[in-house]
Chain A
Amino acid sequence: MTTVEENSGPVTDPTSDYNIFDQEFVRDPYPTMSEIRESKCPIAHTDRWGGSWLPTRYEDVVAIAQEHEIFTSRSITVTASPLAQTEGPYSGVAAPPITSDPPDHHWHRRLILPVFAPQSVAKYEQGTRDLCNRLIDGFINKGEADAGTDYAQQIPVRVISAMLGVRDDMADEFVSWVRGVLEVGLTDPVVRLENRRKILSFFRRELEDRKKNPRQDDLITDLLNSGDKYPVTDQYVLGVCNLMLVAGIDTTWSAIGSSLWHFAQHPEHRKQLRDHPDLWPTAVEELLRAYSPVTMARIVDRDIEFQGCPMKAGDRILMAFPAANRDPRQFENPDEVVLDRQHNRHVAFGSGIHRCAGSNLARLELRVALQVWLERIPEFSLVDPANVTWAGGQVHGPRVCRVRF
């Protein structure tokens, strides 16, 4: 049950047969999520794509995230990777700490947290601002641009390259590899494996280079040299590089893209931020809530009944953070973007021990990318709303999003 042919076909009842790769769901998942959430079956199930559960209420998603011993992170992709056993030298490389369970999770996470602390990511602000300005310089005189591919897509990949200390002329390759893993690869295991190999062999060479030529203030060098404190292996360091690329690019790019797509259609919100720049912190959180890009997965450790659902060991659960973040039980007028929303305990970055380690960096990139755009291009609109294309599944956001200004 892994090919597009086997899994497409019309959905009659999303509570028992949802399809996260259905074109309509990819474009606009919120009506279906709402239908499931308000049905008698707010934790839906499907047999498509290898089978999964889909909790849609805030309370259930958070409860599952907190119960990390029952709902493990052995696999976190929204579809199974049936070729994982055939990978040869890379078969054991995961993406720590997101794929780690306790007890290793603790040190897997601890080692990378310092680079993502607010005071550490602050040093990327000016560089991100300069990058955003350079990108806009490239198209501002044309009166039209693709807010997705010309802008949103270009930003996180370069910030992550800088953090990893790798050449940023690899940006296009990185983007293509990550899309191979996170977009096309979710429904095509061969594409997924091929792109995963490209990522891992690239970083394998970077690791070998750092061993021969250690660098100062370099994440890969520092991780390789942490063996005195923790049982660090090459496989762990390779896994962290893999995670930073795969988790750090598509996600933030999607959040930037969705936010620009929103602003293109809401001049009143552009004006509100222009008149009240003090709203930026709450505005960023609100855009993260309303357009949460990421859905992660958990694997059930042992047979258990959860909220009346008979879950079996090995079952996959899709952590529908975007659905949780629009639950009216938790958020007033959840489908409305309220830039000064006062109560916003959103779970765009997840919850519990796997809460996104890079959230401070993502917030910074999102805020700076939007601030620079709105400073330089205060008035803009979609060229054709029907021609915006979307990615979905693991990460939801616009890809081609042409705007005119």
Chain B
Amino acid sequence: MCSIAAPEVFGSDELGHATVLIDGDIPANVQAKVRRAQANCPEDAIIIEE
């Protein structure tokens, strides 16, 4: 789900498990997408550090 909502930030490994593609701060232009990924993660697995 997250890789559909915010492909700039989330990818998936060979098993289809989500991975984070970036390191450090989330670029301003994709912050809204990342928040949507967080709000829709079915496993509640995304934490955004402010």
A and B associate: yes
Give bound CA distance, A343 to B36, whole Å.
Answer: 7
Interface-side segment among A72-80, A110-118, A148-156, A211-219: A110-118
User: Which chain A residues numbered 68 to 119 have a C-beta less than 8 Å away from chain B?
Assistant: 110, 113-114, 116-119
Give bound CA distance, A346 to B41, whole Å.
Answer: 8
Please state if A113 and B15 are interface contacts (CB–CB under 8 Å): yes
Chain A interface size band reads 20 to 34
Q: Does A355 contact B (CB under 8 A)?
A: yes
Please state if A114 and B14 are interface contacts (CB–CB under 8 Å): yes
Please state if A118 and B40 are interface contacts (CB–CB under 8 Å): no
Query: Which residue in A119, A285, A351, A355 is a CB contact (below 8 Å) of B40?
Result: A285
Residues of B within 8 A of A344 (CB): 39-40
User: Which chain A residues numbered 326 to 367 have a C-beta less than 8 Å away from chain B?
Assistant: 342-347, 349, 351, 355, 360, 363
Residues of B within 8 A of A120 (CB): 16
Residues of A within 8 A of B12 (CB): 117-119
A-B contact count (CB 8 A): 45
Please state if A117 and B39 are interface contacts (CB–CB under 8 Å): no
User: Given A285-B40, A342-B36, A345-B42 in contact, is the A360-B16 Cβ separation under 8 Å?
Assistant: yes
Give bound CA distance, A116 to B39, whole Å.
Answer: 23
Query: Which residue in B3, B4, B40 is a CB contact (below 8 Å) of A345?
Result: B40
Residues of A within 8 A of B44 (CB): 345
Q: Does B13 contact A (CB under 8 A)?
A: yes
Residues of A within 8 A of B41 (CB): 345
- In the complex formed, the residue of B with least CB distance to A119 is B12
Please state if B16 and A116 are interface contacts (CB–CB under 8 Å): yes
User: Which chain B residues numbered 5 to 48 have a C-beta less than 8 Å away from chain A?
Assistant: 5, 12-17, 36, 39-44
Q: Does A281 contact B (CB under 8 A)?
A: yes
Please state if A355 and B42 are interface contacts (CB–CB under 8 Å): yes
Could you give, for residues 110-136 of chain A, a 1 whenever the CB lies within 8 Å of some chain B CB and a 0 otherwise?
Answer: 100110111110000000000000000
User: Given A345-B40, A346-B42, A351-B42 in contact, is the A117-B14 Cβ separation under 8 Å?
Assistant: yes
Q: Give min CB distance, B38 to chain A, whole Å.
A: 10
User: Given A281-B4, A281-B5, A285-B1 in contact, is the A117-B15 Cβ separation under 8 Å?
Assistant: yes
Give bound CA distance, A363 to B42, whole Å.
Answer: 14
Residues of A within 8 A of B17 (CB): 113
Interface residues, chain B, with chain A CB atoms under 8 Å away: 1, 3-5, 12-17, 36, 39-44
Interface residues, chain A, with chain B CB atoms under 8 Å away: 110, 113-114, 116-120, 281-282, 285, 342-347, 349, 351, 355, 360, 363
Not counting A114-B14, A118-B3, a sample of 12 additional A-B residue pairs whose C-beta atoms are within 8 angstroms of each other reads: A110-B15, A113-B17, A114-B16, A117-B12, A117-B16, A282-B40, A285-B1, A285-B40, A342-B36, A346-B42, A355-B43, A360-B16
Closest 6 CB pairs of A and B: A117-B16, A113-B15, A343-B39, A281-B4, A344-B40, A118-B12
Can you list 21 A-B contacts (CB < 8 A)? A113-B15, A114-B14, A116-B16, A117-B12, A117-B16, A118-B3, A118-B12, A281-B4, A281-B5, A285-B40, A342-B36, A343-B39, A343-B40, A344-B39, A344-B40, A345-B39, A345-B42, A345-B44, A351-B43, A355-B42, A355-B43
